[in-house]
Chain A
Amino acid sequence: DQQVKQNSPSLSVQEGRISILNCDYTNSMFDYFLWYKKYPAEGPTFLISISSIKDKNEDGRFTVFLNKSAKHLSLHIVPSQPGDSAVYFCAASGPWGGATNKLIFGTGTLLAVQP
C-alpha cells in the first residue's frame, strides 16, 4: 500500500511566483518528513525536513508545513526560479523499532518553473 502519496504528478508555475507541492500520508506513526529534489540522471538530493512535533520549518526560499491531524504536508517555494525545475519527492520515516530504519517515498511531482 502507498503510505506516502503525491497526487499531483506535475505542476507548472511562473518564475517569481509561489510553488506549492503537496503530500499526504497514511501512517500516523511517522516521526520525520523530508523533501528531496531530483534532476534527470542524478540521484535525489535532500532539500528540507520537519519533525512531527513541529508544524513549520523554513530554510531560505523553502518552507515545509505539516498538518498532523490531516496527515498532510506541503512544500512552499518562494520565489520560484527556473533552476527549481525538477522532480520533488516527499518522504517519511519512523517509527523505529528493532531493525527498522528507512525512508518511504511518494511518487513525486514534476515541477516546471517557466521563465
Chain B
Amino acid sequence: DTGVSQNPRHKITKRGQNVTFRCDPISEHNRLYWYRQTLGQGPEFLTYFQNEAQLEKSRLLSDRFSAERPKGSFSTLEIQRTEQGDSAMYLCASSLGLAGVGTGELFFGEGSRLTVL
C-alpha cells in the first residue's frame, strides 16, 4: 500500500498521560500536514511541514503539542499531559504541490483516534 499510513489507529489514554502518533506520508510527497477532526466538524488545520521544516502552526496547537518531521520523511505528533478536550481524530495528509493547486491535492491517512478518559 503506497498511501498515507498512520499509527496507532486508536489510542485510549488517561488524562495527564503523553501520547505520540506517527505518520508515514506518500514517499515522493515533500509536504505534510496534521489536522484534527472532532464530531460534527470538518478537519481543522494544526501544522504543516515542507520537507523537515515546520513552516506553519495553528493557534490550536498549544504548547502541549509538538510535531516533528526528522529527515523530511515520517512525522510524529506528540501530545503531553493529555486533557479530555484532546479527544479527537488526528489526521495526517501529504501532498506533492501547494495545497489545492494542480497536483497539490491532499492525500489523507485513515487517522488516529484519541480517547482521553
From residue A54, how far is it (CB to closest CB) to chain B in Å?
Answer: 13
Contact partner of A43 (CB less than 8 A), chosen from B99, B101, B109, is B109
Q: By the criterion CB–CB under 8 Å, are B111 and A43 in contact?
A: yes
C-alpha gap A6/B56 in the complex (Å): 25
Whether A31 contacts B100 by the Cβ 8 Å rule is yes
Residue pair A107, B91 in contact (C-beta under 8 Å) = no
- The reply to whether B42 and A49 form a contact with Cβ atoms under 8 Å apart is no
B91 A102 Cβ-Cβ under 8 A: no
Look across to chain B and name the residue whose beta carbon is closest to the beta carbon of A96.
Answer: B98
User: Which residue of B is nearest A33, CB measured?
Assistant: B100
The residues in B between 58 and 116 inclusive whose CB is less than 8 angstroms from any CB of A are: 91, 93, 98-101, 104-111
The chain B residue sitting closest to A2, CB to CB, is B42
Q: How large, as a class, is the contact surface on chain A?
A: 20 to 34
Give Cα A91 to B108, complex, Å: 14
| Residues from chain A with Cβ under 8 Å of B45 in the complex | 102-104
A37 shortest CB reach to chain B, Å = 11
Cβ of A70 under 8 Å from chain B: no
The answer for the CA separation of A105 and B54 in the assembled complex, in Å, is 21
* C-alpha spacing A105/B107, complex, angstroms: 14
Contact B42 A94 (CB under 8 A): no
Whether the pair B42, A106 counts as a contact (CB closer than 8 A) is yes
What residues on A are CB-neighbors of B40 within 8 Å?
Answer: 9, 107-108
A49 and B111 form a contact (CB under 8 A)? no
Is A34 interfacial (CB-CB < 8 Å)? yes
A43-B110, A89-B43 known; A103+B99 contact, CB < 8 A: yes
B50, CB-defined interface residue at 8 Å:
yes
Which of A6, A32, A91 touches B101 (beta carbons < 8 Å)? A32
Binding site for B on A (CB under 8 A): 4, 6, 9, 31-34, 36, 41-46, 49, 89, 91-94, 96, 99-108
Nearest 3 A-B pairs (CB), nearest first?
Answer: A43-B108, A93-B100, A105-B42
Q: List 16 A-B contacts (CB under 8 A).
A: A31-B101, A41-B110, A42-B110, A43-B4, A43-B91, A44-B43, A89-B42, A94-B101, A101-B48, A101-B56, A102-B48, A102-B99, A103-B43, A103-B45, A105-B35, A107-B40
